[in-house]
Structure 1
Amino acid sequence: MTELLLTLVSTALINNLVLHWPLGVDPLLASEERRQVHALGLATTSLMLVTGMFGYGLYQWLLVPLALTSLKLFVFVPLSVLLIGPLLKLLSRLLPQLSFDGLWPLLLGNAGVLGLTLLNARDDHGFFHASAMSLGAGLGFWLVLGLFCDLRQRTFDNDVPLPFRGLPIQLISAGLIAVAFLGFNGLIKT
């Protein structure tokens, strides 16, 4: 149980998919509205959890016994794409106060989901470890998304020099958040 908790915290803070592995940066830069940020974070966390669990199961219990491990990309990409629509419908029914409209392209283009399933397939530590890693990756994405939205709002309110307005200040902000997350490196000793 302790190992699963450490995996969850480590994936969310130390080995964050957006900051440590630059996966899933595109939705980070595309989300504008505060409500949309939390809807995107919740949808991405749910998609990462479901895709990570199903992807691990399909890889370990179907592709490995049949010696078809080289086809993992041909299984993981359609799996994540096919789960987006039903997941968004389910979330919109469960949480009608959040707007999940227009999130389909952001979830489709999120490389973090595919990267997570590939990391789970590469490191075989068991189903529960893969589930904890998937949940931690989603929560870490949601955390960085919320922090980045707050930081972006602060830069809009301040006087930013003309050459740095727009994308340059957003990339500098993402770099500063990544540097701040480097402080968590010594948190968990292996």
Structure 2
Amino acid sequence: MRAARQAVDLLLRAENTWRFEDPQHGLSDQEWMVLRFLARANSFSRSPSALAQFVGTTRSAVSQLLKGLEAKGYVERRPSVEDKRSVSLRVTPQGDKMLTRDPIGPLVNAISALELGANNFRDALRDVLGRLGTNQHRHHADNCGECIFLSSASDPAKGKAQMEFTCRFFRSGINSAEMDLLCFKFEQRRLDRAGG
């Protein structure tokens, strides 16, 4: 239990890389969160309502954050291809350039250099979040590969090596480039804990 408590203390110290009071490179911590999410979000998740759900705030508050990022030239709104009444958000090339200065960059580099490996660290954190249960924390986003809504089927026309992926929630195909992107409708597959 002592090591677990120390690990939590260390995670709280690491939080300083993504939560801060003074702007970093001209952006607040919430503006950075918005920019990061939109850069990593799949096409289903680039809407103001998905963004509000991810950030854990109201659509009105997200609207203000988006206005600030749009004024700085980092984000733009476009009419949605699927629903002309809604908009799709995207990071501009200027926003991509700003992301190279992201305050969490050193944290990403430190995790990448871990001796135990970034994959093992990621999997351990995913396991911890799974054990906490979704009722104890706000909705989170993750990639399609870990989601209960992902289905795959071989496409005979493309051979066994090619797989076609579908999101059962959105009832839409997912291309391989989007498999690693974040989705706001993510639901973790239930792991069998009987073995350990």
- Report the TM-score when normalising by structure 2: 0.29
**Structure with the greater relative contact order (CA < 8 A, sep ≥ 6): 1 or 2?**
1
Larger radius of gyration: 2
Return the structure number with greater helix share.
Answer: 1
TM-score normalised by structure 1 residue count: 0.29
Instruction: From the two aligned structures, give the one with the greater strand fraction.
Output: 2
